[in-house]
Structure 1
Amino acid sequence: MVEPWQDTTLPAHTRAADLLARMTTQEKTAQLSSVWIGADTDGADVAPGQHTYASRSAALDALLPYGLGQLTRPFGTVPVEPTGGAARLADVQRIIRAGNRFALPALAHEECLTGFTAWQATVFPTPLAWGATFDPELITEMAEAIGTSMRAVGIHQGLAPVLDVVRDARWGRTEEAIGEDPYLVATLGTAYVRGLEAAGIVATLKHFAGYSASRAARNHAPASLGPRELADVILPPFEMAIRDGGARSVMPAYNDIDGLPAHAHTALLTQLLREQWEFTGTVVSDYYGVSLLEEAHQIADGEGAAARLALAAGVDVELPAARCFSPADPLPEDLLDRAALRVLIQKCELGLLDPDWEPVTGDVPVDLDPPHMRELARRVAEESVVLLANDAGALPLSDGLRIAVVGPLADEQAAMLGCYTFPRHVGVHHPDLATGVEVLTLAEALRAEFPGAAFVDDPADADVALAVVGDRSGLFGRGSSGEGCDAEDLQLPYGQAEVLDETMACGTPTVLVVLSGRPYALGRWAARAAAVVQAFFPGQEGGPAVAGVLSGRVEPSGRLPISVPRSPGGQPAPYLAPPLARHGFPSTVDPTPLYPFGHGLSYTAFSWGQPHCDAPEFTTDGEASIRLTVRNTGDRPGTEVVQLYLHDPVGTVARPEVRLVGYARVPLDAGASAEVRATFPADLAAYTGADGRRVVEPGALELRVAASSAHVHHTVPLTLTGPVREVGHARRMRCEVRVK
């Protein structure tokens, strides 16, 4: 007889509720628990305190009689051959099912920030590089391919994307974020969520919320956030990814906001997330986030107290291992039922409650780096490379030159790979292990790109010098960029400033190539450089992508998702800052960036026609339509990125000078033109006022049609009429931009 919870014709909520009613307290608690098999394996931690916590967490054998909620990183903890790994995961799932009376499998999760974090899986560019593409469609395609590869080996949930809006680039996890603008982060993050969810993988939004706004950009530090910054800068990407992207999981942040840790923040996890945004998925703790309520935040007296605080606030699952959510320590029944129901609904949606469910067997060979994945990685890498300066016309380079390639990162794979790639996250702990995928260094890629060039060691003997600088990614101090690798300032690390000074002193035209996880201060060399190129950890295809831009085989089309500072100690005020934060009396510090948000050059030229607005005066619940023509006036193809910025001359609180509200990539052949049409809803003018309400106010606005936040081609005056209008979760959050 098929029980109601096994009946696939019934709604997921009905099935899950029926199963919940049959469970004991211990069985319910087990569904909120996880096991990290292999966490106590010899070697360095891939997460802080991994070995310490592993010895204090419930083992699989102890939980088997009750079932298990999640399996942690079966591919991303130690090197696992994909086909054999799928077979071993299937064996573990069979053991789990056989151990509990309902034959329920566990939900398996993995990291997937730069592709599936597994050995031999395609390594994609880091999220800061996604931001540089300004290409949501490509990011969706990438994410769906990543999700499909994860499903092929039995994974159900991906711990990505990171939707933290960067507030200070000294933060080590800047490379994991998409950029410094909430609209760019929201639209590209939502695009990633759509792709991952389309592949059947549960997308997990992190880190909710305020993680990137920590004091002095220190990892885990408190976030000094006012309610308006939280509402208007930090939260919109999460809101869009849930509402428009369909994300089914959220991960709280490690930080506290005004003294209240996110893992115990009822207003954030329940009142906002559940009640206002109507989120129905699961909230999974960041690794050891529940334990840290006791050990770091010191707001709980013991593991049980930490569990009750987190559960009451809205955390449903403890990751990566069961320590506080323990069947041996009873939790309040009503809160336990609430969380367990959410977990069971999600398992039902994934098919894990179906009577005919079977694990992926691993019988069919698995290729996690097939040609179409490498092609996608190449496209993302190529679109993400930003040409910052080319004043001397040094680029593109012709073949046959004498080229000197200098700098400590010119011949290092680490300069291509972010901290959440398998080689830098796990592989570094296994020095005898092959990388698993082909990753050319820039020096290797240059030799392939310029077969007729003579590569020389001494810049003084060369026609052009390529000075390659930037970061080595790592975790917890094992690199200059990455989780736990925060910086005191934005000076180039590893003594690379001296390398640049010496190279430029010889008089040879020098092209500065930055391969990094964050922007660095380049004002000391920008005026002397023949050209400047920026790539943010562009992945396994990054070497050929950067080399292709240098040769002109690839047309540069990336745009900065984050400002590049002029000096290392005077970080640029985020371009979202109000006028008072900008340069001027009475401060002697000039925070003006060297290269602003949205900046990027091409090898061709474009003309922008005068925009036309059909009805520049509209009501606070209306919209305006704008159109203009962009033409490629050069002699080679190229892509312009049209950016729309909103300027509000007068507000009831201090407002950003400009903020991004729309964009579109416009690829054009030489001499070709295209019409760009944008629909701007009044809702995008909304902001949080002095009384805490998000409102659209009548009055004058300016829509700036621009090539960057500082390079405005045209200004379109707009006027909103009618009453002040309060908007909420149902507001329009996008400016629809179309290219014809």
Structure 2
Amino acid sequence: MTLEEKLAQIVGFWEKADGEAVAPLQGEFTHDVGLAEAMRHGLGHLTRVYGTRPVEPVERAQWLWEKQRSLVRDTRLGIPAIVHEECLTGLSAWRAATFPTPLAWGAAFDPDLVAEMGAVIGDSMRVLGVHQGLAPVLDVIRDPRWGRVDECISEDPYVVGTLGTSYVRGLQSMGVHATLKHFVGYSGSQSGRNFAPVHAGPREVEDVLLVPFEMALLDGGARSVMHSYAEIDGVPVAADPALLTGVLRDRWGFDGAVVADYFGVAFLHLLHSVAADLGEAAGLALAAGVDIELPTGDAYLAPLAEAVRAGRVDEALVDRAVLRALEQKEELGLLDATFDDEPPTAVDLDSPEHRKIAARLAEESLVLLANDGTLPLASPARVAVIGPNADRVEALFGCYSFLNHVLAHHPGAEVGIEIQTVADAIATELPGAEIIGARGCAVDDDDRSGFAAATSAAATAEVAVVVVGDHAALFGRGTVGEGCDRDDLELPGVQRELVEAVLATGTPVVLVLLTGRPYAIDWALDRCSAVVQAFFPGEEGAPAIAGVLSGRVNPSGRLPVSMPRSAGAQPYTYLHPQLGGNGDVTNLRTTPALPFGHGLSYTTFARSELQAPAQSPTGSPIEASVRVANTGDRAGEDVVQLYARDVIGSVTRPVAQLVGYQRVRLEPGESVVVSFSVPPARLAFANRDLDRVVEPGELELWVGPSCAERETEARTTLTGPVHRVDVNSERWTSVSVR
């Protein structure tokens, strides 16, 4: 291969127009080269063929097949390109199903359902000739002020790892490569600011931030990894061989492809200032282990070619990356592909199967935070549906949904899929009720002129459903999403004032939060009759919310992230050591308004008889079981949560750590025994030498409705020598129900 042919295999090409700003600092890069010229020596990736603008999928597939045939027939090597797309909440394409955002996956605590979702997303991608998906996001939530919280699954690395691994397995079962992002540390940014420095110590990196990636690679077999934009302790990840080679490849044995986050190689020069120019940035990234530059070849084409020919970058680094790129194409069957077949002439990207999975996941993800008995609604005659998110379809979707990510730049385009607003769904759900609508205010301005109509509607109603929350967008155009960070955790704009004005009417208020992050709403938990949390529940989210209000759906979601009391208490995690909690050494409370794992139901559950051995070897799984009973009068689903605390450690340990969970459905009066097998790796931590170990000593175990309540407890003593956990240790807790 010539140098030009090599470089062509490790870059992408993005056909986009002015104004289609769906990536950070996209306007900093200008490309005069057209696709035909870019394909002259071959091409590594085609970037977002379907996900850049609203295009008819079948027409675009015809275009794609023609371009792939051209690469096969008209280039010397005849190698097709990998096509990659965003797929965080479904394939990012016009008319494709849009599922709940990952924070809702976390609230559902249902790995099997997430795997089903991943499989149907992967099937849609495969049919359209897409080979690689840029998902899942495995960043562990560290600060709810960070805008990208809605893309994340949980503040607990085990929940992130189990659900993220399930998504990987589902997507890859259809022959589409998953891409883990953002490796690593991105969510730990200073003050919750996008692109801010990360000050995580090596133990936090090992015990929290790396864990989900290790699980998804070793347990899930993910075939691609995307580097983080972050710098950790002054070293940009894109230029860090200790992480991208030492951890990924040498320690974990990863043999797939590492791709750049969009423009991340160029950012080594433009934002991090560790490279004097793009050629030096390319050399640093290649040496660290970034194989493929996305979305285009800003650094890996002309600047890298010049640096190689001048002797500033060893061509052997290029060869290493090219071999990995070609190995990935061979694995995907592209080295033998001819594209002589015909592209699809008809596709259904939002089939009844898609809608069914979307509905189930939306229903399971809704968290009932508070309820004085007002819910479920008992056939009200007159309902006021109020708030900026009550009658707005965009409110149901996250930042990386096609609707908010792409269609926002094409205001004249149709949405492309059928979506009910919450107001529409309530009217459908309660056909006998008169529905009175009032917007009240916008999501994020200070206009209070709509308050009078809202309070008037509420005053004449039996109950007021007030739907507030976020608008997801990019780079400051929304209240949550990439580049939409916050310096407080109050509801945006004047939404709190709207809720308080409606409360002042005396009408019972059911507060519905349609958000991409948890907000500090402790003031509402006692004053509102009920509070329902929905984390961007997707295309079937509105019927799911209406179903919870009516009682057709028994809420079963649990908080995947602590509900904060204030922005001043951030960053906070339930995984804090003893000094991170309340105490006499400070006058400020750290306790969140609601704890991790909290969630109410229309029935009641009792957890009892937690059993564990008195002793268990440090190198063996801990076998534990608990009885769970439905003590109420209607069927429901509980998320059984097993927590542990390592009482004494050589370094400080969390006061609570989730080591297993299982969703179970029980009829009234029914009980089951849930058995957990907790492997050593779930209890391992980085000791003073940063070795991952399980130490002998006492371990407290408990099961309860959240991390904060010990409903049934047991103790075990870990015996034997210090056990060092290696990469082959199982991270996936085994669970059985009988």
The normalised TM-score by structure 2 is: 0.95
TM-superposed CA distance for 1:59, in Å, is 4.0
Output the CA distance in 2 between the equivalents of 1:544 and 1:176: 22
Output the CA distance in 2 between the equivalents of 1:558 and 1:489: 26
Pair 1:668-2:666 in alignment: yes
Output the CA distance in 2 between the equivalents of 1:555 and 1:385: 9
Over residues 305-343 of structure 1, what are the superposed CA-to-partner deviations in whole Å (9 max), with x where a residue is unaligned? 000000000000000001110154335221111111111
Which residue number in structure 2 is paired with residue 147 of structure 1? 122
Which residue number in structure 1 is paired with residue 224 of structure 2? 249
Over residues 56-82 of structure 1, what are the superposed CA-to-partner deviations in whole Å (9 max), with x where a residue is unaligned? 475433332311100000001111111
TM-superposed CA distance for 1:364, in Å, is 2.3
Q: Secondary structure at the match of 1:515?
A: strand
Output the CA distance in 2 between the equivalents of 1:497 and 1:57: 49
Q: How does 1:78-97 map to 2 (within 5 A)?
A: 78-97=53-72
Which residue number in structure 1 is paired with residue 373 of structure 2? 393
Q: Secondary structure at the match of 1:712?
A: coil
Q: How does 1:550-589 map to 2 (within 5 A)?
A: 550-571=549-570, 573-589=572-588
TM-superposed CA distance for 1:95, in Å, is 2.1
Which residue number in structure 2 is paired with residue 50 of structure 1? 26
Pair 1:335-2:317 in alignment: yes
Contact 1:76-1:422 within 8 A present in 2 as well:
yes
Gaps of 5+ in 2: 438-456
Which residue number in structure 1 is paired with residue 721 of structure 2? 723
Output the CA distance in 2 between the equivalents of 1:250 and 1:117: 19
Pair 1:459-2:458 in alignment: yes
Which residue number in structure 1 is paired with residue 207 of structure 2? 232
Pair 1:134-2:132 in alignment: no
Between 1:569-578 and 1:377-386, the stretch displaced more is 569-578
Q: How does 1:111-260 map to 2 (within 5 A)?
A: 111-260=86-235
Pair 1:421-2:401 in alignment: yes
TM-superposed CA distance for 1:643, in Å, is 0.4
Cα 1:572–1:473 change in 2 (3 A) is same
TM-superposed CA distance for 1:415, in Å, is 1.2
Output the CA distance in 2 between the equivalents of 1:296 and 1:497: 37
Pair 1:107-2:96 in alignment: no
Which residue number in structure 1 is paired with residue 448 of structure 2? none
Q: Secondary structure at the match of 2:525?
A: coil
Over residues 128-164 of structure 1, what are the superposed CA-to-partner deviations in whole Å (9 max), with x where a residue is unaligned? 0000110000000000100100111110000000000
TM-superposed CA distance for 1:401, in Å, is 2.9
Pair 1:518-2:500 in alignment: no
Q: Which amino acid aligns with 1:181?
A: D
Q: Which amino acid aligns with 1:128?
A: L
Over residues 66-104 of structure 1, what are the superposed CA-to-partner deviations in whole Å (9 max), with x where a residue is unaligned? 111000000011111111111111111122223311211
Q: Which amino acid aligns with 2:416?
A: G
Between 1:87-96 and 1:375-384, the stretch displaced more is 87-96
Output the CA distance in 2 between the equivalents of 1:641 and 1:301: 52
Contact 2:84-2:131 within 8 A present in 1 as well:
yes
Output the CA distance in 1 between the equivalents of 2:39 and 2:521: 56
Which residue number in structure 1 is paired with residue 441 of structure 2? none
Q: Secondary structure at the match of 1:610?
A: strand
Which residue number in structure 1 is paired with residue 335 of structure 2? 353
Over residues 688-713 of structure 1, what are the superposed CA-to-partner deviations in whole Å (9 max), with x where a residue is unaligned? 11121111111100111122111221
Cα 1:359–1:251 change in 2 (3 A) is farther
Contact 1:154-1:359 within 8 A present in 2 as well:
no
Output the CA distance in 1 between the equivalents of 2:423 and 2:568: 31
Output the CA distance in 2 between the equivalents of 1:294 and 1:24: 27
TM-superposed CA distance for 1:363, in Å, is 4.2
Output the CA distance in 2 between the equivalents of 1:293 and 1:344: 26
Over residues 259-315 of structure 1, what are the superposed CA-to-partner deviations in whole Å (9 max), with x where a residue is unaligned? 100100100000110000000000000000000000000010111100000000000
Output the CA distance in 2 between the equivalents of 1:568 and 1:275: 40
Output the CA distance in 2 between the equivalents of 1:494 and 1:733: 43
Pair 1:383-2:359 in alignment: no
Q: Secondary structure at the match of 2:162?
A: helix
Output the CA distance in 1 between the equivalents of 2:339 and 2:175: 16
Between 1:664-673 and 1:273-282, the stretch displaced more is 664-673
Contact 1:661-1:734 within 8 A present in 2 as well:
no
Contact 1:35-1:58 within 8 A present in 2 as well:
no
Which residue number in structure 1 is paired with residue 476 of structure 2? 477
Q: How does 1:234-383 map to 2 (within 5 A)?
A: 234-326=209-301, 328-329=305-306, 330=308, 331-354=313-336, 356-358=337-339, 361-383=342-364
Gaps of 5+ in 1: 1-22
Output the CA distance in 1 between the equivalents of 2:205 and 2:56: 43
TM-superposed CA distance for 1:523, in Å, is 1.2
Over residues 599-657 of structure 1, what are the superposed CA-to-partner deviations in whole Å (9 max), with x where a residue is unaligned? 111101112231223x3202111223222221112111000111011111111112111
Q: Which amino acid aligns with 1:35?
A: F
Pair 1:438-2:418 in alignment: yes
Output the CA distance in 1 between the equivalents of 2:82 and 2:611: 53
Which residue number in structure 2 is paired with residue 634 of structure 1? 632
Q: Secondary structure at the match of 1:527?
A: helix
Over residues 336-369 of structure 1, what are the superposed CA-to-partner deviations in whole Å (9 max), with x where a residue is unaligned? 1111111101100111011x53276334211111
Between 1:401-410 and 1:196-205, the stretch displaced more is 401-410
Output the CA distance in 2 between the equivalents of 1:64 and 1:511: 57
Which residue number in structure 2 is paired with residue 609 of structure 1? 608
TM-superposed CA distance for 1:589, in Å, is 2.0
Pair 1:36-2:17 in alignment: no
Contact 2:144-2:571 within 8 A present in 1 as well:
no
Q: Which amino acid aligns with 1:335?
A: L
CA RMSD of aligned residues (A): 1.3
Contact 1:573-1:582 within 8 A present in 2 as well:
no
Over residues 457-478 of structure 1, what are the superposed CA-to-partner deviations in whole Å (9 max), with x where a residue is unaligned? 5211111111111101101111
Output the CA distance in 2 between the equivalents of 1:82 and 1:65: 26
Contact 2:20-2:52 within 8 A present in 1 as well:
no
Pair 1:76-2:76 in alignment: no
Output the CA distance in 1 between the equivalents of 2:229 and 2:34: 25
Between 1:279-288 and 1:79-88, the stretch displaced more is 79-88
Contact 2:680-2:729 within 8 A present in 1 as well:
no
Identity %: 53
Q: Secondary structure at the match of 2:369?
A: strand
Q: Which amino acid aligns with 1:365?
A: A
Between 1:601-610 and 1:261-270, the stretch displaced more is 601-610
Q: Secondary structure at the match of 1:138?
A: helix
Which residue number in structure 2 is paired with residue 619 of structure 1? 617
Over residues 535-570 of structure 1, what are the superposed CA-to-partner deviations in whole Å (9 max), with x where a residue is unaligned? 000001000001101111011111110011123433
Which residue number in structure 1 is paired with residue 700 of structure 2? 702
